Amino acid sequence: MAVPGKVAAFRLPPLPKVGEIIKLFRLKAQKQLSQNFLLDLRLTDKLVRQAGELKNAYVCEVGPGPGGITRSILSAGVEQLLLIEKDIRFIPGLKMLSEAAPGKVRIVHGDILTYNMEKAFPNHLKKNWEDEPPDIHIIGNLPFSVSTPLIIRWLENVSKKDGPFIYGRTQMTLTFQKEVAERLTANPGGKQRSRLSIMSQHLCSVENCFIIPGQAFVPQPEVDVAVVHFTPLVQPKIQQPFKLVEKVVRSVFQFRRKYCFRGIETLFPESGRLKRTEQLMMTANVDPTLRPSQLSMSQFRNLCNTYRKMCDEDPGLFVYNYREELRLKKRAHLLISNSQPEETEEENQF
Ligand SMILES: C[S@@+](CC[C@H](N)C(=O)[O-])C[C@H]1O[C@@H](n2cnc3c(N)ncnc32)[C@H](O)[C@@H]1O
């Protein structure tokens, strides 16, 4: 659990308000880029407190924009702050902040999706995975279209201990659309239990910290926003490669309203499908009539471990792709009958 730290360990010299910076540099939010700014410093302070103690820490803020959260991070007394911002219009305002905190801020005009985080911090900060997390934090309020793919990528980095996790169990405090945060943190049986719940919780302790109502942003988005804190676990709850876990979890949730065996079947080619599904479910000790959302983490672990054994015994199994088989069958069906194929798949949200 994140230990809320103190903010205001360092006093910035008087600066124009964030709203004034927006006016000064004509930083109109670009709706098509989902830019929604958080200008209320009480809220930015509260968000930054969720990261824990930041005094003398090394922080990377992704998508600082006009710099509201940036000010709160600097006020927390950090040692170094790396800012990665894609939109060049924000760089002059960020430079103004950097001048107010000499020697502390490094500004990168770049895209977090391509930035090499393995060189972002000094080597001496590296910790062993089993040790306490390093004094490195990632904080960000990014557009939702970026934050969801980014967290999936960072979860894969956690499982491989690379990217930002080359330094150890780097903690992250990020915002998401409220419903995505609910999926990230959902327990078994919960309405929002989904692929994202298993993929995040098997690798990290995930805490839904607080909700920021949409009205707090300028301009106001149509949804509420939640702040989520991630601390990578010393031992993942499922000790299998990320891609294997992803495949099993995606298959289970393929038909999220049906019994779980319906999705699990899709792990196997049509010939022998029933027999192998039964074998997997029996060995993993999973009741085939549970709904995907009812499965516990240990049941997912059993499924992944058993599926891994089956893949080791049949090297062609892992590359089997149900959707591809379905697509080829549909195409053949169309060629033969020239009729519309039946729709067999359900919506498969992350
Ligand atoms: C929702 S706005 C939030 C701005 C600021 N953090 C705040 O809370 O007021 C998202 C910011 O992320 C930036 N951004 C979007 N995609 C990015 C990417 N791939 N890499 C870095 N920054 C990005 C946008 O330019 C914008 O400044």
85 is in an annotated binding site: yes
What is this model's ipTM? 0.99
pLDDT band per the 50, 70, 90 thresholds, residue 3: low
Q: Please give the average per-residue pLDDT across 156-162, as a whole number.
A: 98
User: Is residue 75 within 8 Å of residue 9, measured between CB atoms?
Assistant: yes
Q: Convert the pLDDT of each residue in 96-115 to its tens digit.
A: 999 999 999 999 999 999 99
Q: Please, what are the domains in the chain?
A: 18-232 (3.40.50.150), 242-328 (1.10.8.100)
Distance (Å) from CA 141 to ligand 1 centroid: 7
- 221 CB near ligand 1 (under 6 Å): no
Q: If you take atom 9 of ligand 1, which residue's CA is the nearest one?
A: 37
Distance (Å) from CA 126 to ligand 1 centroid: 27
- 65 CB near ligand 1 (under 6 Å): yes
- 37 CB near ligand 1 (under 6 Å): yes
Distance (Å) from CA 211 to ligand 1 centroid: 19
Which residue type occupies 214?
G
Percent of the chain, pLDDT > 70?
91
The CA–CA distances, whole Å, from 349 to 21, 40, 251, 345 equal: 39, 33, 12, 12
CA 166 to mean position of chain CA atoms? 17
- The Cα–Cα gap between 146 and 202 comes to 22
Average pLDDT, the chain: 91
> Which pLDDT score, from 0 to 100, does residue 349 have?
55
> Which pLDDT score, from 0 to 100, does residue 19 have?
77
Residue 238 CB partners (closer than 8 Å, separation 6+)? 202, 245, 297, 300, 301, 304, 305
- The Cα–Cα gap between 97 and 134 comes to 26
β-pair type (171-177, 225-232): antiparallel
* pLDDT of 209 strictly over 80: yes
Q: Convert the pLDDT of each residue in 260-313 to its tens digit.
A: 999 999 999 999 999 999 999 999 999 999 999 999 999 999 999 999 999 999
- 90 CB near ligand 1 (under 6 Å): yes
- 219 CB near ligand 1 (under 6 Å): no
* pLDDT of 7 strictly over 80: no
Q: Who has greater pLDDT, 107 or 24?
A: 107
User: Is residue 211 within 8 Å of residue 226, measured between CB atoms?
Assistant: yes
Q: Convert the pLDDT of each residue in 240-270 to its tens digit.
A: 999 999 999 999 999 999 999 999 999 999 9
Q: Give the SS3 label for residue 205.
A: strand
> Which pLDDT score, from 0 to 100, does residue 32 have?
58
Q: Please give the average per-residue pLDDT across 130-147, as a whole number.
A: 96
